[in-house]
Amino acid sequence: MDEGTEHSTDRGMSDVDGRVAVVTGGASGIGLGMVRAFAGAGMQVMVADLDTEALAAVADELTAAGADVATAVCDVAELEQVEALASATIDRFGSVNVLCNNAGVGIPTRTNDLKLEDWRWIIDVDLWGPIHGVKVFLPLIEEAGEGHINTTSSMAGLVASGMMGAYNVAKHGVVALMATLERDLRGRRSPVTASVLCPGPINTNISRNSVTYRPTRAKPSADGATSGKAAATIQASLERGMDPDEVGRLVLQAITDGDFWILTHPRWAKSLDRQIEAMNDDRSLTDL
Ligand SMILES: NC(=O)c1ccc[n+]([C@@H]2O[C@H](COP(=O)([O-])OP(=O)(O)OC[C@H]3O[C@@H](n4cnc5c(N)ncnc54)[C@H](O)[C@@H]3O)[C@@H](O)[C@H]2O)c1
């Protein structure tokens, strides 16, 4: 470590067995990977999602495996629903140690074509969701005396590619939220640590699920064809992505090791180096 730098990595939760975790968007994909990893490590898990059928399937799977899990329907965009999730967690498990703000949606559309309703929906879920999570759960986790808050951002939280305006804005906001939070927690020697997950392509149903949840889906749109085609292309490329269960294991490892950055595809972060280089060299924006 360079002299004078302060980035302690010795603040991880040494033992998670018997601790309580809450995972939003936990009924599918990366969130489900976290739920499986946490339950496998002996944690009690509250799985929150909008999808009631998927929640029931997760409860069946994990209960059959001997895990102690509960489920809650929760729209993270609604503060009152996140408050109700916290109450349900305390009622069921008595305390809470770990929160993973993971629920997320995204629609690929050119900046100018994205409807304001879609902007609001994506930012409400992907940025306000984690803000609600931190606001409601941090005091409870601090009260428990030991814990961690992780939020799922994306490589899109580090480098902004085309077509993903609202998603990029929300995911950059998430990185800023978690970095600020971790520095604030360190500054006041809190027993709680924070981390941010920045995945590259992971094999999940995010494009399909986002098309289903999109508030403007029933309305004809001049850009409908372009956006639908781009969503299908993204969905197809994700099918070659990393297994979400592997991501769940990486998150568990980071929580116990006290790592802040969780990168599934660290080589992709090179585009960040190129961006900074170009910024210093000729002030240009790199192509992606
Ligand atoms: N799949 C990838 O390649 C990838 C890459 C980078 C980041 N991410 C991020 O990972 C997170 C998880 O996505 P995933 O890929 O596992 O997708 P997914 O669609 O498989 O899982 C997301 C879950 O969130 C739920 N959800 C959606 N809106 C919600 C809301 N308002 N409140 C509560 N739950 C809601 C969905 O029902 C779904 O179960 C997201 O934040 C996403 O942006 C995914």
Q: What is the pLDDT of residues 218-237, one digit of tens each?
A: 665 656 677 778 888 888 88
Domain that holds residue 238: 20-213+220-281
pLDDT at 6 exceeding the cut of 80: no
Residue 203 belongs to some domain of the structure: yes
Per-residue pLDDT at 2: 39
C-alpha separations of 58 from 31, 35, 84, 90, 122 in Å: 11, 9, 20, 20, 25
Per-residue pLDDT at 7: 54
Q: In the structure encoding, which two tokens stand for residue 224, read together?
A: 């409908």
Dump pLDDT digits (tens) for 25-84. 999 999 999 999 999 999 999 999 999 999 999 999 999 999 999 999 999 999 999 999
Residue 1 belongs to some domain of the structure: no
- The better pLDDT of the pair 216, 96 is held by 96
Number of domains in the chain: 1
Per-residue pLDDT at 231: 82
**Nearest atom (ligand 1) to Cα of 200:** 5
Q: How many Å apart are CA 77 and CA 56, to the nearest integer?
A: 22
Average the pLDDT over 249-273 and give the result.
Answer: 95
Of 7-16, 43-52, 66-75, 164-173, give the lowest mean pLDDT range: 7-16
Per-residue pLDDT at 232: 84
Among 23, 24, 28, name the best residue to mutate to test ligand 1's pocket (greatest count of ligand atoms within 8 A of Cβ).
28
Confidence of residue 105 (pLDDT cuts 50, 70, 90): very high
**Residue 35 belongs to a domain with what CATH number?**
3.40.50.720
Burial-class residue 149 by CB neighbours within 10 Å (0-12, 13-18, 19+): buried
CA-wise closest residue to 185 among 149, 133, 132, 229: 149
Residue 196 belongs to some domain of the structure: yes
Residue 15 belongs to some domain of the structure: no
Q: Please state the separation of Cα 30 from the chain's center in Å.
A: 8
Can 213 be counted among the known catalytic residues? no
- The better pLDDT of the pair 7, 183 is held by 183
Residue 14 belongs to some domain of the structure: no
**Nearest atom (ligand 1) to Cα of 124:** 31
**Nearest atom (ligand 1) to Cα of 201:** 3
- Of 167, 170, 198, 242, which is the active-site residue? 167
Residue 229 belongs to some domain of the structure: yes
Per-residue pLDDT at 230: 84
Query: Does ligand 1 lie within 6 Å of residue 104's CB atom?
Result: yes
Q: What angle do CA 75, 25, 243 make, to 5 degrees?
A: 165
